[in-house]
Amino acid sequence: MRGIVLIGYRGCGKTTLARSLAARLDWPWLDVDRVLEERAGRSIATIFAEEGETAFRDREAAVLTDLLSGPGPLVLATGGGVVEREANRRQLRDSGALVAYLDAPADFLRARLEADPGGRPALTGAGLLAEVAVVLARRDPWYRASAGMVVDARLTVEEKTACLARLVENPAKSRR
């Protein structure tokens, strides 16, 4: 798929940046979580509660495969756990899109999630905020291995948009 895929932990700003990038590039944008909810006819919190995380991950993998197999151009925001499955990580690497990891320290993410929990289900018994450091430590190497570039999530939306849009507008610079 021609396009940009945004990956990173919950609260790093993928959806806001996807919307901003799409406006700047005049491309459509989609959020894997929203497509999944539309297809399921239920919220993610309900899917976690009624079907469990494994069933959610199956749905997430199916949506990812569908969206990455389109031609694009597209800006795609993903759920923070998309890198949990090896097959998803491989698809991201092989997608042909510019995959950008929005990297942020646990403190920053915790503060953002505290301000806007957004009905996100906890992933461990520790809870949404307390689990950030341990889940991020597990996922961080996967985000890095799946991405073609790393962007500091603490930059402003305008800065991140400009940085990624420039790479798309001047693709020679986006090569790894």
Task: Report the nearest approach of ligand S3P to the CB of residue 84 (Å).
Answer: 7
Query: How far is the C-alpha of 11 from the C-alpha of 6, rounded, in Å?
Result: 12
- Cβ neighbours, 10 Å, residue 67: 21
Task: Draw the binding track, 90-129, toward ligand S3P (x: CB under 6 A; -: no contact).
Answer: ------------------------------xx-x------
Task: Draw the binding track, 49-68, toward ligand S3P (x: CB under 6 A; -: no contact).
Answer: --------------------
Name the burial class of residue 127, with classes exposed (0-12), middle (13-18) and buried (19+) by CB atoms within 10 angstroms of its CB: exposed
Residue 10 engages ligand S3P in binding (rule: CB under 6 A): yes
Task: Draw the binding track, 26-45, toward ligand S3P (x: CB under 6 A; -: no contact).
Answer: -------x----------x-
Query: Of the candidates 81, 88, 98, 109, which one interacts with ligand S3P according to CB under 6 A?
Result: 81
Residue 79 engages ligand S3P in binding (rule: CB under 6 A): yes
Query: How far is the C-alpha of 36 from the C-alpha of 45, rounded, in Å?
Result: 12
Query: How far is the C-alpha of 108 from the C-alpha of 114, rounded, in Å?
Result: 10
Task: Report the nearest approach of ligand S3P to the CB of residue 123 (Å).
Answer: 5
What is the phi/psi pair of residue 123, to 5°? -100, -20
Query: How far is the C-alpha of 7 from the C-alpha of 81, rounded, in Å?
Result: 9
Which residue's structure tokens are 């990580």? 89
Task: Report the nearest approach of ligand S3P to the CB of residue 93 (Å).
Answer: 19
Task: Report the nearest approach of ligand S3P to the CB of residue 173 (Å).
Answer: 27
